[in-house]
Amino acid sequence: MDTFWHLEKEDFFKGIDEAKSAFLKNAQRLELSKNEMVFLEGDAGDSCFYIESGLIRIFCMDRAGKEMTFSLRMKGEIFGISEVLNNSPRKASAQTASASVLYAINRQDFESMLQEHYPLARSVITLLGRRLRQMGDLVRRQNSDVANRLASLLISLAYETLRTTEGWNKPCEIPLSIPQEQLASMVGSTQPTVSATLQQFRNAGLIVGAGRRIVLLNPIEMIYRLDHNLL
């Protein structure tokens, strides 16, 4: 399962309850609907965010105006830290991929917390190191074909459900309704190509689904094919 090492994560504040209480006390609670923008590329990086529930898509636009999704941030994760620490503009945009509840804290309060809570500062350093490695893996995956990128995305979307099941060889429904146009954006492709690739997965017995709902029939088989370039 090393292909998905970056998905093996716990709540950012696990083990540092005092820091979490301080964070939530100083933060603003935001209830956002699906597809709402959290921030745009170029905005001031004056706050970071903790996800109480929902899913956040981090993306940017290339010179041709095409979206490229870098990552999906899920429940228990924190994002927007780098710009806060560097006092720099946003390097990418963030948008809700489902209804979400966030806690936003401003730079001054977060920096004060880092000085007062050493375990929090240590957690931030560890997190940034993991994300640097994850970005390197992302660059390598972007050089693979669409089938590999799409399979990796589907496993990522289903991961929170998969980790609570008895086995990865059983069917698992992706708990989000995502249109093919958005899937295409996430893997840097086009809707017709994604549609054809999904049909390829159906023909191979890897998925079933109707509309925007997708069920992974045998996730472990998909991971095996992904790891061995058999898609």
Instruction: Express each pLDDT in 6-21 by its tens digit.
Output: 444 578 898 999 999 9
Residue 113 pLDDT? 92
pLDDT at residue 42 above 90? Answer: yes
| Tens digit of each residue's pLDDT (9 = 90 or more) over 89-105 | 998 899 998 899 999 99
| Tens digit of each residue's pLDDT (9 = 90 or more) over 168-194 | 678 888 877 778 887 887 787 889 999
pLDDT-based confidence at residue 144 (cuts at 50, 70, 90): low
Residue 5 pLDDT? 40
Residue 64 pLDDT? 73
DSSP secondary structure code for residue 28 in this structure: E
pLDDT at residue 204 above 80? Answer: yes
For the chain, residues classed under CATH 1.10.10.10 are 144-226
pLDDT at residue 86 above 50? Answer: yes
Instruction: Measure CA 134 to chain center.
Output: 11
Question: Right CATH number for 15-140 from 2.60.40.1180, 2.60.120.10, 3.30.460.80, 1.10.760.10?
Answer: 2.60.120.10
**What is the arithmetic mean of pLDDT over 198-208?**
92
For the chain, residues classed under CATH 2.60.120.10 are 15-140
Residue 22 pLDDT? 94
Instruction: Measure CA 50 to chain center.
Output: 13
pLDDT at residue 229 above 80? Answer: no
pLDDT at residue 160 above 60? Answer: yes
Distance in angstroms (rounded) separating the CA atoms of residues 167 and 20: 32
Residue 167 pLDDT? 61
Q: Locate tokens 């609670």: which residue?
A: 29
Residue 6 pLDDT? 46
**Angle at CA of residue 60, ends 59 and 61, nearest 5°:** 140
Instruction: Measure CA 203 to chain center.
Output: 28
Does the CA dihedral 163-182-64-56 come out positive or negative? negative
Fold classification of 144-226 (topology level):
Arc Repressor Mutant, subunit A (1.10.10)
Residue 85 pLDDT? 86
